[in-house]
Structure formats: C-alpha cells, structure tokens
Amino acid sequence: MQELTVELGERSYPIYIGEGLLGQPELLLRHITAGQVMVVTNDTIAPLYLDAVLSACEHLQVDQCILPDGESHKNLQTLNRIFDALLARPHSRTTMLIALGGGVVGDMTGFAAACYQRGVDFLQVPTTLLAQVDSSVGGKTGVNHRSGKNMIGAFHQPRCVIADTRTLDTLPDREYAAGLAEVIKYGLIWDAGFFEWIEANIDALMARRQDVLAHAIWRSCSIKARVVGEDERESGLRAILNFGHTFGHAIETHQAYGQWLHGEAVAAGMVVACELSARLGKVDSGLPLRLVTLQRRLGLPVAPPADLGGRRFLDLMAVDKKAVDGRLRLVLLAELGAAVVVTDTSVTEILKAIEASRRFAD
C-alpha cells in the first residue's frame, strides 16, 4: 500500500492506494468517527463492493442509498434521494457518509455531506480509474445543471481516500480508457517525464498490469495533492488541473451528459487545447499529433463531435464556471509538462484551433 497526504493544515487527509484495500476493514474504520454511517453507491457498484463496506461497518448504524448509474443522473433530483435516505432513519449532524463508486457518486455524496445539517464528514472510496486519479481528491463536489456541468456545488474535503486498485478489474474498457485521459493530463500539465513514461508503458497500462497501474495512480494523485495543498479553492495554481476541461465540459453539456463519458470529453478537449497552444507558438507543432497518437491507442476521442459547431462551442464555454468577468479562462501548455492560465486568447484563434482539431477525426 502507498500513502500520500493532501496537506491542508488541520483538514489534511491521507490517500491510500493499493490492491485489496476493501478487504482491510480496519483501514476504513480508522477514519470513521461517527456511530452512524450512510453508504452512497449506485446500482452498478452495489452488487460488487457494497457488502465489503457494510461488513466493515457492521458494529455501527449503517444504512445505504443506492442511486441510478450515469452522468445523466447527476442532478438535484437524484441528490435529494440522498437527503431522503438520511432523514428517513434519521441521521444526526454527527453522521458520516461514504462515497462508494465513481466520480458521479463521489461528487454527489460530497455535495450532500457539505449540505446535510450544514455539513457532515464523508469518506471517498473510488472504484473507477478517473475517480481514483482525479475526482475523489481535492474536495470539489456538485451536480450538473442543464446549462452547464458542475454549476451547483461546494468545496468539501473528505476525511480520507481509499483507492483499491482491484476494483478496476471490473471496470469496463471504455471507462478505464476514459480514466487514463486524466492520467495523461497530469503529464501534459506538470511532468514531461511522466508523459513520456505513459507513452513507454501504454501497453502495460492497457493490460491493467498492477504495478504499472499503481504507479500511474500514485503519480497522478501526488501531483493533484500538491496542487490542491497550495491552492484549495482554485484561486490560482489549481486552475491548471482544468486543462482540456473547458472544451470538454462544453462537449458534455452539448450532448446532455450521457453520450460521451467525462474522460472522453476531456480527451477531445485536451487535443483542442494542445492545438491552440501550438498555434500560439507555446509548444512544438508536433505535440498535438503526439497526443492524438497516444489517445488513439486507448480508443479515446481525438476531436470534438461533428455536430458541435464553433460558435455553439463558444456559447457553451462562456457558461462554464471557469469564465471570469465574461472572459474565457483557458488552460494552455507553456511547454510539455508546464501549464499556464490565459484570459486574452482571441475568439478567432480559439475557433481556428477547434476547426484544426477536427482534422484528427477518423
């Protein structure tokens, strides 16, 4: 087992990464400080891993809330099912929630924990690669609105993150590849050597070799933990974690949160952002193709949807919560392994980059 810490003073918390961690109930119980527990999961994950968590909490009052699976259910209506379950027992203000699932479950459980009786503790037990390397770490919680992704939410840090790499054995190939998109992102924005390591080890990653996978998760989490520790609420440095996301969120909103997975939309968004970086002379002109080649090996999208026109793209991006005072705030690459936040990119250049990225479409 590997362990990292998100350094936030009194609210610091550990990230545990390893095989079979759900079979170690003492690890979970170490961080449960309440006599009441509500496990929130979905109808895909519940048959696989819910019993292990319930068994670990058998000496407590432990209840469960099983949500429908999918990004299309990440909304206020579904969120209210968590509150209904908490109040049905009822759970007090000292209860603790456990998020067992992927990014949707983690985001909604964290938001429910931030809101219930003005804030209760929660734990993250991510079961998808994307959640293990990204969404479970950092305290961003929320739900989608039909006008924009994650527009309703709160910052609320978990008490710990337990990433059992064995849960990835049951993850469908498409969702696994979508998680690797976020792994690639960390190399692009922070660590050129890590990006090159991903290129060299792509076959082992696709084969889900445990030692290689564990390193990818550990390195991704270590980068995010450092960034979050320096800028918890995204007032500066943390914005670089959104590389590809402003474009990606526009794709997700356009498609009503269901046709493309989050990681797939981010993958296409990273190609656009990389293309824009190259057009502005910030990175080598060959880097977009290098990224496309890597993502194609994973079966990830490498261009925006054909039915999403440039002007519609801009309209959706303008609603994104990363826009500041009416100006788009984009994360671009200053070089491979280093990102920069810009607010002065012309609409013309953005539109040209969007259109140029379409040349990579199959």
- The one-digit pLDDT tens for each residue of the chain (362 residues) are 999 999 999 999 999 999 999 999 999 999 998 899 999 999 999 999 999 999 999 899 999 999 999 999 999 999 999 999 999 999 999 999 999 999 999 999 999 999 999 999 999 999 999 999 999 999 999 999 988 889 999 999 999 999 999 999 999 999 999 999 999 999 999 999 999 999 999 999 999 999 999 999 999 999 999 999 999 999 899 999 999 999 999 999 998 887 899 999 999 999 999 999 999 999 999 999 999 999 999 999 999 999 999 999 999 998 875 565 557 889 999 999 999 999 989 999 999 999 999 999 86
Active site annotation includes 59: no
Active-site option among 74, 149, 262, 282? 262
Per residue in 61-79, pLDDT (tens digit) is: 999 999 999 999 999 999 9
**Active-site option among 182, 232, 264, 275:** 182
Neighbours of 37 (CB within 10 A): 23
Active-site choice (31, 185, 219, 245): 245
Query: Computed over its alpha carbons, how large is the radius of gyration of the chain?
Result: 20
Catalytic residue among 31, 156, 215, 224: 224
Residue identified by tokens 């002065």 is 344
Delineate the domains of the chain, giving CATH numbers in brackets.
2-170 (3.40.50.1970), 173-360 (1.20.1090.10)
CB 110 within 8 A of CB 57: no
pLDDT of residue 310: 92
Catalytic residue, chosen from 242, 254, 264, 282, is 242
Pairing of strands 2-6, 13-18: antiparallel
Q: What was the pLDDT predicted at 132?
A: 98
Active site residue 238: yes
Instruction: Say whether 185 is catalytic.
Output: no
Tokens in use for 261? 């997975």
In this prediction, residue 62 carries a pLDDT of 96
Told to judge if 42 belongs to the known catalytic residues of this protein, a careful annotator would answer: no
- Set 234, 252, 264, 275: catalytic member: 234
89 is catalytic: no
Looking at 159, 238, 254, 282, which residue is catalytic? Answer: 238
The DSSP string of 281-340 is TSS-TTHHHHHHHHHHHHT---S--TT--HHHHHHHHHHSTT-BTTB--EEEEEETTEEE
Residue 10 carries which DSSP code?
Answer: G
Residues of the chain above pLDDT 70, percent:
98
Angle between helices 173-189 and 192-200 (to 10 degrees): 150
Active-site option among 249, 254, 282, 329: 249
| pLDDT at site 318 | 87
Asked if the bond preceding 288 is cis, omega within 30° of 0, the reply is no
Say if CB 104 and CB 75 are below 8 A apart: no
- Percent of the chain at pLDDT exceeding 90: 92
Residue pLDDT, tens place only, 4-47? 999 999 999 999 999 999 999 999 999 998 899 999 999 999 99
pLDDT digits (tens, 9 = 90+) for 316-339: 998 875 565 557 889 999 999 999
- Catalytic pick among 31, 73, 74, 140: 140
pLDDT at res. 149: 87
| Annotation says 322 is catalytic | no
Check residue 257 and give its pLDDT. 82
Query: Is 118 a catalytic site residue?
Result: yes
